[in-house]
Structure 1
């Protein structure tokens, strides 16, 4: 005999709730209007849309993403450190390896590691 306990939420929903409510941002990434629209539509954050970085966070840190007006439009876990993002901000993904010296992820914050606010 066994007891089956059904989950109240899916793993994806639980992760979204964790990202939205339990992570305190270690820094901020500011994006242009086009990137803010893309994020609201469900896209990942690419370097080309980044206009600024605040804070001294490491790769894997929780960050908040702000639009040009300073409104937080998303929260997520970054694939790059603040110093690396400053170096690749505004650049195309295919330029990242030449700038950083290694082939990183295509997105600064992947949509699977992000929740829109």
Structure 2
């Protein structure tokens, strides 16, 4: 029983790492810019999309089908660790701010 409680406590105390990411179509340079409260989960989701050849996001469906999954790359642009005192809403707000900051650095005409 103690092992189970220890595992539950370890899970609750894990560091939550959010971030801003970019999925780029290497064929035409178009990209998807987004943020996620769990950046590792989004990376895993992208990897699964590539392995199953299912579009990662509906916005890029046509390009994904035309160019194939291998034409897309996933890049983490910025990360943010959730503070213990921060609500989920505040955390997401901070991530959206980071996303807007990254968007200013990129060519908006190429964004999905």
Higher relative contact order (CA 8 A, sep 6+): 2
Higher radius of gyration, 1 or 2 = 2
Under a length normalisation based on structure 2, what TM-score does the superposition of the two structures give? Answer: 0.25
